[in-house]
Amino acid sequence: MTNSPASTSTIVSQDTQTWDSLKGAIATSSGFQRWQIERAVDEYEQSSLDYRVRRYLRETLETLAY
């Protein structure tokens, strides 16, 4: 069974909305705020929020993996 282009674009739109919502929630969390402070905010001021949240999640998951 194949997806029609309309249903594929709907899924992508929903994924984008979900990511934007999740990204916003993470960005306002105290853990994320503390992480930015610990890692010299100046380095990240030029980076997009998307990049910073992805890096925060990656580093957090790496820490949990130990």
DSSP string, 1-56: ----HHHHHHHHHHHHHHHHHHHHHHHTSHHHHHHHHHT-HHHHHTS-HHHHHHHH
The 3-state DSSP class for residue 64 equals helix
Which 8-state DSSP code applies to residue 61?
A: H
pLDDT-derived band at 53 (thresholds 50, 70, 90) equals: very high
The H or E element containing residue 65 is helix 49-65
pLDDT in tens, 1-48: 566 666 788 888 899 999 999 999 999 999 999 999 888 766 656 688
Other CB atoms within 10 A of residue 49 CB: 14
In this prediction, residue 19 carries a pLDDT of 96
Note the pTM of the prediction, 2 decimals.
Answer: 0.74
In this prediction, residue 55 carries a pLDDT of 92
In this prediction, residue 47 carries a pLDDT of 83
